[in-house]
Amino acid sequence: MSTLRSQLARRIGLPLKALAKRESTGRIVDDLDKGQWLAPEQLRALREKRLRRLLVEVGRDVPFYREQIRRLGADPQGDDPFEILRGLPTINKKMYRELGVALRSESPRRRPIVAHTSGTTGERLEVRVDPDAAAYRYLAGFRGRSWWGIEPGDSEYKIWGSGIRTATGAAELAYKVVRRMKDWAIGITLVSPFFQKREDVDEAARLLMRKKPKLVFGYANSIHLLAAHMVRNGLRAGPGWPKAVGYTAEMLMDWQREDIARAFGAPLFAEYGSCEAGVMAFQCPQGSMHTSDDIMILETLPTPGCADGLGGVVVTDLMATTYPLIRYQQGDLARLGSETCTCGRGLGRLFDLTGRMNERFASRSGGIIDFIVFDQAMKEQDAIRCFKVVERGPGDIVFLAELHAGREWNLADRERFVKQCLSLLPADVALSVQVADHLPSEPSGKFRIMIAASDAARYL
């Protein structure tokens, strides 16, 4: 039975969040609930309908796709929309940025929601999202949580960056504060992932034990840091809480999973998503990573060196017609399957997801140097195309930046960046910045961000 807080969150808290996205919460929740149980032929019909609508609108109003569909000689109204989709080019971060207004509708119905990401690929991007699509993406996450018995309003202990400490102006700061208030309205306790010293982890553990949340959610490595601390200090969650522990943004190793299981004594689930596309897949209690097939189309493209169906993940958001995201390269590797899951949901499945494994370093005092610090500070650094964080030695860090062509990284921006990073790093960390002509990917094609001292000579 829903608790009073759950009912308030569903009727007040979630609508507050959706209000910022300018969309009706109840209709979308019902739509998503029905979508997960559709039979294969029903799901295909829904996807075909939504894809056709998307192609009709972008073929009429979005310059880049109007030209691409014209080039194909295709008719979105009458031709097979899946065939048209396969004929469209894939785009990556660089293309998305360079195409700019050519990827936006000439007849927008609403203003977009603008988000920024530096991403686990090390390349920052400003993303414009349809309000409709943003609401669907957000509530798709709640759908996945419901599979684990988590209801809107259930208390959540979220290890996540608020962005408040790295806000660069009054308007951005106000937005971040309001967003945090909205989180509070639906029962979220936000905890900084920046564990700079042992006392930070101690405080995070004390807060956890006091709050006794129904859900623990956050960055994979940050959750593991907390869990390992709890195990070392004889702390255990429960009894009766949390119902589940969820992670995203990075992969977990088996030994990390074991620490989390010992600390929390609760089932562990994964969410696969990104700032650009939202929640693309969510793990069910039977262990399947179910793809969000009712609101997006995932593809995997052949990738050199990969076999057995493993390929690069490409996503199309079916709900984003004004600011479309079509055949966007996520930069991860996975395999797709349509095998039926014992949970009974008709959604597809994602297997063998690889990528997003980011190392973290330690300072001489044992403080943690995590990718998340640089991710947060990158938000307003427009000149930087991509970056690597190189460890020269314990606590001695070099931030390597590759700039956009023709751009300069001025002294004021450099100083602001270093100041923001140092405010989030352990006190005994030395940080310097350098500009590189080109930062290469790994032989596998993945872009590695955190470079340990053992490999530093390749980059410095």
Could you please report the per-residue DSSP string of 418-444? Answer: HHHHHHHS-TT-EEEEEEES--PPPTT
Is the pLDDT at 13 greater than 80, yes or no? no
Could you give the CA distance from residue 127 to residue 275 in angstroms, rounded to a whole number? 8
Higher-confidence position of 458 and 271: 271
pLDDT digits 0-9 by tens, 379-431: 678 888 778 899 999 999 999 998 877 889 999 999 999 999 999 999 999 99
Q: Average pLDDT of 17-21?
A: 47
pLDDT at position 174 is: 56
Q: Which CATH class is domain 4-354?
A: alpha beta
Torsion sign, CA atoms 255, 260, 261, 267: negative
**242, containing H or E segment:** none
What is the share, in percent, of the chain residues with pLDDT greater than 70? 84
pLDDT band, residue 14 (cuts 50/70/90): low
Q: What is the CATH number of domain 361-458?
A: 3.30.300.30
Domains of the chain, residue spans: 4-354, 361-458
Q: Which amino acid is at 437?
A: D
Could you give the CA distance from residue 264 to residue 357 in angstroms, rounded to a whole number? 22
Min mean pLDDT across 152-166, 243-257, 383-397 is at 152-166
Is the pLDDT at 167 greater than 90, yes or no? no
Instruction: Name the 3-class secondary structure at 191.
Output: strand
pLDDT at position 117 is: 65
Secondary-structure breakdown of the chain: helix, strand, coil percentages, each rounded to the nearest 5: 40, 25, 40
CA angle 12, 17, 22 (to 5 degrees): 105
Q: Average pLDDT of 256-261?
A: 91
Record the pTM: 0.75
pLDDT digits 0-9 by tens, 88-102: 999 998 899 999 999
pLDDT band, residue 32 (cuts 50/70/90): very high
pLDDT at position 354 is: 73
Is the pLDDT at 166 greater than 60, yes or no? no
